[in-house]
Amino acid sequence: MGIPATPIHLMNSVYKQIFPLVHRELQVWKGKAESIPNEELRKQALASIEWKDFHCEGGAILSLIAEERKAEAIQFIIAYQTISDYLDNLCDRSTSLDPKDFEALHESMYHALLQESNPTNYYRFREDQDDGGYLASLVETCQTLNRSLSNYKMIKEPLKELCGYYCDLQVHKHVTKDERVERLQKWFNRHEDKLPEMSWYEFSACSGSTLGIFCLISYALRSDFKEESVEMIRKGYFPYIQGLHIMLDYFIDQEEDLEGGDLNFCFYYSNHDEMFNRLSHFIKKADQFLDYMPHKRFHRLIHRGLLGLYLSDDKVAKRKDLKKLSRKLIRQGGIQSMFFYINARFYRNIKKIMPLKVKAN
């Protein structure tokens, strides 16, 4: 059937081909998480699967690029995203505020992008230690896929770059509250000369997505992958699609982050008009860069789908101001974003009635 180029083709492929494989993989990792000896690590591993399964669902859509090797791409994507979600819980909701601990934990995300690495105790700076090999197993699953890639050398450096941004962000944003903004601003200042015009909090958002990594891995599984495509793919996803992805994530979480006193990059816009204008800018710039990518119609669907997926969240409907702003953003994405919005609302309602069997016991 080829790589989807229309919304209906995409959603048909997602529901019939992608989601069943995603949920099968999540069941495997749920079983491994249930066997973690340490109570705190087990709790956070299971919580990350229970509450963040939609991250895996969304990321796995990019496996369609790999076509006949999409099952392999999904194995990597689910393992890598599970590492990301698990570590986010350990940094955000667990027992440590130590940047050395966060750096050590996130070495696993870098190692997962290699073909092999030496055994490492990623928990060496925290009290909770024994995960029964859970994190190492996730890393090894990713490395196994990497060793199968004849095109691995082509993508190694951009993978390293995107992972570096991601891991640095996770360290800086999870330290004590009075240090976070200053650390993020200094980090942005070190990279600003390589970036298009943007603020420190927008750069942070651009760094917080794994979509570019999943896209590169999925392309590298293709026998017709060409080295000249690498930079186009990287620029297609970083900064603008990744930035839009994470800013939308923060957009829908504003109320709960305000109540919890958590860092939210949307809070740094001076008003809703500025936020709308900047998000609109990211939408337009993403479209421009997608024009140079292979399979650009597919990637434009991903771009439009992000708007529909996030803005359909129930949290948006609870606030009149966000609901009004979300409608304007949906209109920016046109008919395709509206299609994905309606589709996502329907899917969310179905999941409420028939929850997926990946919940923690």
pLDDT given at position 355? 54
Report if residue 287 sits inside a domain: yes
Token pair belonging to 82: 């599970």
Q: Distance of alpha carbon 178 from its chain centroid, rounded?
A: 26
CA–CA gap between residue 345 and residue 159 (Å, rounded):
33
Alpha helices in the chain (DSSP H): 7-13, 19-34, 39-51, 53-60, 70-92, 99-111, 134-147, 152-174, 177-191, 200-207, 211-220, 228-236, 242-252, 254-260, 272-290, 296-311, 314-317, 320-353
Stretch 135-142: mean pLDDT? 98
Stretch 310-322: mean pLDDT? 87
Lowest mean pLDDT among 14-18, 94-98, 140-144, 227-231: 94-98
Residue 272 one-letter amino acid: H
Token pair belonging to 188: 């942005």
CATH of residue 63's domain is 1.10.600
What's the domain range around 310?
7-353
What total number of domains does the chain contain?
1
Report if residue 240 sits inside a domain: yes
pLDDT digits over 255-268, tens only? 888 888 889 999 99
Report if residue 361 sits inside a domain: no
Is a pLDDT exceeding 90 seen at residue 141?
A: yes
CA–CA gap between residue 151 and residue 146 (Å, rounded):
9
CA–CA gap between residue 159 and residue 250 (Å, rounded):
24
Q: Distance of alpha carbon 118 from its chain centroid, rounded?
A: 26
Report if residue 80 sits inside a domain: yes
pLDDT digits over 338-351, tens only? 999 999 888 877 77
Within 10 A of 287 (CB to CB), how many other CB atoms are there? 18
Q: Are 192 and 204 in contact (CB under 8 A)?
A: no
| Three-point CA angle 155, 189, 84, nearest 5° | 45
Report if residue 315 sits inside a domain: yes
pLDDT digits over 265-304, tens only? 999 999 999 999 999 999 999 999 999 999 999 999 999 9
Stretch 222-246: mean pLDDT? 96
Report if residue 358 sits inside a domain: no
Is a pLDDT exceeding 70 seen at residue 357?
A: no
pLDDT given at position 354? 62
Q: How confident is the model at residue 92 (pLDDT cuts 50, 70, 90)?
A: confident
Q: Are 167 and 104 in contact (CB under 8 A)?
A: no
CA–CA gap between residue 31 and residue 250 (Å, rounded):
30
Is a pLDDT exceeding 60 seen at residue 359?
A: no
Q: Are 169 and 204 in contact (CB under 8 A)?
A: yes
Q: Which residues contact 283 (CB under 8 A, 6 or more apart)?
A: 244, 303, 307, 329, 332, 333
